[in-house]
A and B are shown apart, each in its own frame.
Chain A
Amino acid sequence: AQSVTQLDSQVPVFEEAPVELRCNYSSSVSVYLFWYVQYPNQGLQLLLKYLSGSTLVKGINGFEAEFNKSQTSFHLRKPSVHISDTAEYFCAVSGAGTSYGKLTFGQGTILTVHP
């Protein structure tokens, strides 16, 4: 079984400040990791994913995340946020093979960027 814990339900920051959204996972098998963003009343947009290779993953909109296997973490970072980054962010894990795509989501982190 897999599980995902997003450690912060809400993160308020000021515009142009750096931000880190924390995500820890547990799984008995190798996993693939994803971060999604959801704007109000909309679907999910993929920010970035880790499947294999380099543990530092760069995504869209200036976001990046680092896969840390020993700490079972996949924290999302952005060096300078904009007002438009205000949204809810979800960390998710998927197994491999026939389980690929069956995502287990974290509880979500609401990022609010203040002017």
Chain B
Amino acid sequence: GAVVSQHPSWVICKSGTSVKIECRSLDFQATTMFWYRQFPKQSLMLMATSNEGSKATYEQGVEKDKFLINHASLTLSTLTVTSAHPEDSSFYICSAPTNEQFFGPGTRLTVL
């Protein structure tokens, strides 16, 4: 079946640095991907919709200049957390809206 992968699965960075997270659809093409964020002991919240070949659309309250999304090909979307701070520490998960709604395995970001 369709699979979505994410890389890295876990990253620690210093405050003020930028971190890039990749989301790949392995055996299908995805013109749209979604990025979610999950804080500890909380549910998932949609951050943004990544659109291949066009700008991402962000949910209310999500800073587009801080969370840069690039969907350069039909199989790859990237989320870059710029100037990361400890409050950005979270679990970031992407998904592709296939019939099965596949999710990636997630990326645990810890900002020190």
Give A contacts to B, CB under 8 Å.
Answer: 34, 36, 41-46, 49, 51, 90, 94, 100-108
Contact = CB atoms under 8 A, between A and B. Distances in A.
Interface string B72-98: 000000000000000000000101110
Given A101-B34, A103-B34, A103-B101, A41 B43 contact: no
B43 A46 contact: no
B43 A44 contact: no
Contacts of A41: 106, 108
B105 A42 contact: yes
B44 A90 contact: yes
Given A102-B34, A103-B34, A43 B96 contact: no
Question: Which range contains the number of B residues in contact with the other chain?
Answer: 20 to 34
B106 A43 contact: yes
A111 to B, nearest CB: 15
A1 B66 CA distance: 26
Contact of B43 (A42, A45, A51, A108): A108
A2 to B, nearest CB: 11
B28 to A, nearest CB: 13
Contacts of B102: 46
A42 B100 CA distance: 18
B97 to A, nearest CB: 2
A105 B43 contact: yes
A106 B43 contact: yes
B86 to A, nearest CB: 19
Contact of B44 (A42, A100, A105): A105
A103 B46 contact: yes
B44 A103 contact: yes
Contacts of A34: 101
Contacts of B96: 101
